[in-house]
Amino acid sequence: MYRWVCDPVIAVAIGLRRGPTLEYTLKWIQRSIDDPLITAYALLLNQSHVGNAVLDKTDTYLKTSRLSVYVGDPSVRGTGVGLTGIYHALVDGFRKYDLHKVWLTVDVNNQAALKTYAKLHFKVEGVLREEFLIHGHRSDAYYMGLLRKEFEQLSPALAD
């Protein structure tokens, strides 16, 4: 994971504000294990860890959680491993944790992510103007959400 967050593409995608360190990466892993409001999932391809999906910022009253995801291994980006991993995280979130809604923010220019989220029926709920600072330039972000009832209409074939 540390090697992945050192990749400038991943660092920008996950919004790192300072250079990654092994110490901070290990602290994040420990925090995700210890905090019951964070659920991290390893994205696997042929039994190799290639990325992560995370449900965090969970509101137990509203039954909402934020989704973040990245495919760390550049050789498998675009293969559908992210889509499949997100699908399984959503199954867990909606069924095991009884979430009502999963939300996320995404750069309006991240076409690969937007395509994936559209396949999973996420809806744009708003635009966060100049929300991200990427390489010194401001960029808008979409606030997107997926309700449990929308997720339940998805085909389980997405998990393949």
| Beta strands in 47-109, from DSSP E residues, in sequence order | 48-59, 64-71, 101-107
- Reduce the DSSP state of residue 89 to 3 states and report it: helix
| CA–CA separation, 25 and 114 (whole Å) | 27
Q: Which two tokens stand for residue 7?
A: 């990749």
- The confidence score (pLDDT) of residue 160 equals 58
Q: The domain 37-159 is classified under which CATH number: 3.30.70.120, 3.30.70.2190, 3.40.50.300, 3.40.630.30?
A: 3.40.630.30
Domain spans, the chain = 37-159
pTM above 0.85, yes or no: yes
Q: What is the rounded distance in angstroms from the CA atom of residue 38 to the CA atom of residue 102?
A: 13
Would you mind telling me the total number of residues written for the chain in this entry?
A: 160
User: What integer is the mean pLDDT of 89-106?
Assistant: 96
Cα–Cα dist 120/153, whole Å: 10
Interval 39-84: pLDDT, tens: 999 999 999 999 999 999 999 999 999 999 999 888 998 889 999 9
Residue 50 has a CB neighbour count (10 Å cut-off) of 22
